[in-house]
C-alpha cells in the first residue's frame, strides 16, 4: 500500500515538471493593430515629470517594431526614436535629449513616453507613431504645462471722490495659462460687485493679472485675493483694507506725517546745537577774561621779582640781587621763625614752604605781597590755547551729534 502511494506521488511530480517545461507558443503578431491614448490633454506642472500614454491593442510584443514620438509641428526632429531594438539618440531633437525615455514595457505593447523636467515650451501636441513591416498607426496626445505665478501683492488707496470706500488692488505675475481671480471676505463669501480684471502676456507666454474693486471696509474686516488655475495650483494674499486713521477723508498717511515732522525736527536740532555753541563760547570767553585780568592784577601789585631758578635749602630764602629792594645779610639765621637782618626785621611765615618754584611771602609782617598764583606770559598763552582748543572740540562734537541724530531719524523705515 505504501509503495502504491509513493509510486502515484512520483508519477504526479513527473507530470507536473513535464507540463511546466513545455514551451508556450509565442503570441502571433497581428497584421493590424490600434493605439489607445488619453482623450483629453495631460496636465503637468512646470519642473515636474509626466508620462504620455500610448498603448497597442491588442496587447503583443512590439520590440521588433519602430516606435517614434515627435511634435506634430516638427516630424523631422523626433522627440524619441526607438528602432532596431535601441534608442537612436543622434536623430532626436536636442531639446529633449536626456529628458525622455520609454516606460520599458514594450513586451506588453506599452509605448508610453516619460518626460522629465517639464518646461512651458514642452506644451503642445505630441504624436505616438508605431510601425511594422506591414502596418503602422499613430495617435495624438496633448500636453498642457501650467506655471504657478507669484504671491499676490495687495495695496489699498483712497477712492476717487472720497467717501467711505477704498480702492483695493491685487496683482500677480508669471502664470500660464491665464489664471482666475476671486475676492473673498473674512467669512469666505466671494465678492463680485465692482470687480475688474486685466491680463497681459509677456514674450515668454507668461500672464500677469491685476484685479481691483471698490470696498467699504471696517476696522476688523480683511480681504482675501486668490489667484488660481485649479484647487491644486493657487496662491492667496490677505490685507486689512482700512486706511490709516480709519477715515479716508480725515486720515493721513505715514509719508505725509514724516514729510512735515522730519524737516521741523531737523531744524530744531540745528537751532539747539547753535545755542549750545554760542552759550559755551561766551562762557569760555568770560572765564578766560577773568583769569587774565586776575593774573595781571596780581602781577602788577607785586614789585618783588622771583629769580630764574628759585631754590630753598634748609629753610633759607635767597633774596639777594639788584631786583630786590631788601638785601639779605651775609649770615641769615632764624630764631623763633624770625629772620634777623641786622636791624631790618622781616617776618617769615610760621612754616616756610616752597611749592612749584613759588615763594610764599604773604603775611602782615611783609610789606610786599606775592600773588596767589604767579604765572608767566608764556604759560598764559599756552593756557589760552588749550581753552580755545577745547572750545573748538566741543563745537565739533555738537555738530557731529546733530548730524548723527538726523541720519538716524532719516534711516527709520517708512512704509510706503
Q: What is the CATH number of the domain that holds 42?
A: 2.60.40.10
Question: Is residue 96 a part of any domain in this protein?
Answer: yes
Quote the pLDDT of residue 296: 67
On whether both 260 and 112 belong to a single domain, the answer is no
Question: Is residue 311 a part of any domain in this protein?
Answer: no
On whether both 405 and 278 belong to a single domain, the answer is yes
**Domain span at 215:** 153-239
The total number of residues shown for the chain amounts to 416
Encode pLDDT of 61-110 as tens digits. 999 999 999 999 888 999 999 999 999 999 999 999 999 999 878 999 99
On whether both 287 and 395 belong to a single domain, the answer is yes
On whether both 388 and 275 belong to a single domain, the answer is yes
Quote the pLDDT of residue 60: 93
Question: Is residue 223 a part of any domain in this protein?
Answer: yes
Question: Is residue 19 a part of any domain in this protein?
Answer: no
Whole-number mean pLDDT of the chain?
72
On whether both 104 and 166 belong to a single domain, the answer is no
Quote the pLDDT of residue 262: 80
Question: Is residue 314 a part of any domain in this protein?
Answer: no
Among residues 55, 222, 46, 246, the alpha carbon closest in space to that of 144 is found at 46
Lowest mean pLDDT among 118-122, 349-353, 411-415: 349-353
Residue 371: all three cell numbers together = 600773588
Q: What is the DSSP letter of 90?
A: G
Q: Are strands 223-228 and 180-184 parallel, antiparallel or unpaired?
A: antiparallel
The model's pTM: 0.49
On whether both 263 and 401 belong to a single domain, the answer is yes
Encode pLDDT of 175-197 as tens digits. 999 999 999 888 888 888 778 89
On whether both 231 and 267 belong to a single domain, the answer is no
Lowest mean pLDDT among 146-150, 161-165, 280-284, 336-340: 336-340
Residue 252: all three cell numbers together = 493721513
Last residue of a domain, which of 124, 146, 168?
146
Distance in angstroms (rounded) separating the CA atoms of residues 199 and 179: 9
Give the chain's domain count: 3
Quote the pLDDT of residue 338: 41
On whether both 275 and 405 belong to a single domain, the answer is yes
On whether both 207 and 273 belong to a single domain, the answer is no
On whether both 48 and 63 belong to a single domain, the answer is yes
E-strand ranges in 96-233 read: 100-102, 113-115, 124-131, 136-146, 153-158, 166-175, 180-184, 190-191, 196-201, 207-215, 223-228
Last residue of a domain, which of 103, 126, 146?
146
Q: Which residue has the higher pLDDT, 236 or 323?
A: 236
Q: CA triplet 300, 306, 310: central angle to 5 degrees?
A: 160
Question: Is residue 297 a part of any domain in this protein?
Answer: no
Distance in angstroms (rounded) separating the CA atoms of residues 324 and 32: 145
Distance in angstroms (rounded) separating the CA atoms of residues 167 and 350: 96
Question: Is residue 330 a part of any domain in this protein?
Answer: no
381: alpha, beta or left, given left = phi > 0 and alpha = psi -120 to 50? alpha
On whether both 137 and 51 belong to a single domain, the answer is yes
Cβ(235)–Cβ(225) below 8 Å: no
On whether both 204 and 274 belong to a single domain, the answer is no
Amino acid at each position: 500500500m505504501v509503495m502504491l502511494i509513493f509510486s502515484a506521488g512520483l508519477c504526479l511530480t513527473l507530470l507536473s515538471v513535464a507540463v511546466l517545461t513545455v514551451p508556450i507558443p509565442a503570441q502571433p503578431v497581428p497584421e493590424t493593430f490600434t493605439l489607445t491614448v488619453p482623450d483629453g490633454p495631460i496636465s503637468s506642472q512646470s519642473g515636474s515629470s509626466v508620462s504620455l500614454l500610448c498603448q497597442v491593442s491588442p496587447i503583443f510584443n512590439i520590440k521588433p517594431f519602430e516606435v517614434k514620438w515627435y511634435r506634430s509641428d516638427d516630424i523631422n526632429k523626433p522627440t524619441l526614436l526607438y528602432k532596431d531594438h535601441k534608442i537612436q539618440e543622434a536623430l532626436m531633437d536636442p531639446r529633449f535629449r536626456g529628458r525622455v525615455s520609454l516606460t520599458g514595457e514594450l513586451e506588453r505593447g506599452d509605448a508610453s513616453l516619460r518626460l522629465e523636467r517639464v518646461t512651458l515650451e514642452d506644451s503642445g501636441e505630441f504624436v505616438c507613431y508605431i510601425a511594422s513591416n506591414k502596418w503602422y498607426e499613430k495617435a495624438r496626445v496633448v500636453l498642457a504645462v501650467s506655471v504657478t505665478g507669484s504671491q499676490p501683492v495687495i495695496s489699498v488707496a483712497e477712492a476717487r471722490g472720497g467717501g467711505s470706500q477704498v480702492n483695493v488692488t491685487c496683482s500677480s505675475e508669471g502664470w500660464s495659462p491665464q489664471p482666475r481671480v476671486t475676492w473673498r471676505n473674512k467669512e469666505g463669501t466671494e465678492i463680485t460687485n465692482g470687480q475688474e480684471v486685466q491680463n497681459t502676456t509677456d514674450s515668454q507666454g507668461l500672464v500677469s493679472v491685476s484685479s481691483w474693486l471698490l470696498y467699504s471696509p471696517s476696522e476688523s474686516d480683511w480681504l482675501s485675493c486668490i489667484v488660481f488655475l485649479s484647487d491644486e495650483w493657487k496662491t492667496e494674499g490677505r490685507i486689512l483694507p482700512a486706511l490709516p486713521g480709519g477715515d479716508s477723508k480725515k486720515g493721513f498717511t505715514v509719508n505725509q506725517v514724516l514729510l512735515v515732522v522730519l524737516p521741523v525736527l531737523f531744524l530744531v536740532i540745528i537751532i539747539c546745537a547753535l545755542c549750545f555753541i554760542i552759550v559755551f563760547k561766551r562762557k569760555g570767553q568770560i572765564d578766560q577774561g577773568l583769569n587774565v585780568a586776575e593774573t595781571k592784577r596780581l602781577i602788577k601789585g607785586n614789585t618783588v621779582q622771583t629769580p630764574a631758578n628759585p631754590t630753598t635749602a634748609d629753610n633759607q630764602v635767597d633774596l639777594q640781587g639788584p631786583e630786590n629792594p631788601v638785601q639779605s645779610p651775609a649770615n641769615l639765621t632764624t630764631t623763633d621763625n624770625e629772620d634777623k637782618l641786622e636791624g631790618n626785621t622781616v617776618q617769615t611765615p610760621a612754616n616756610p614752604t616752597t611749592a612749584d618754584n613759588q615763594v610764599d611771602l604773604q603775611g602782615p609782617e611783609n610789606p610786599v605781597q606775592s600773588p596767589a598764583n604767579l604765572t608767566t606770559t608764556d604759560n598764559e598763552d599756552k593756557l589760552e590755547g588749550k581753552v580755545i582748543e577745547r572750545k573748538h572740540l566741543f563745537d565739533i562734537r555738537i555738530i557731529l551729534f546733530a548730524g548723527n541724530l538726523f541720519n538716524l531719524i532719516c534711516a527709520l523705515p517708512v512704509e510706503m
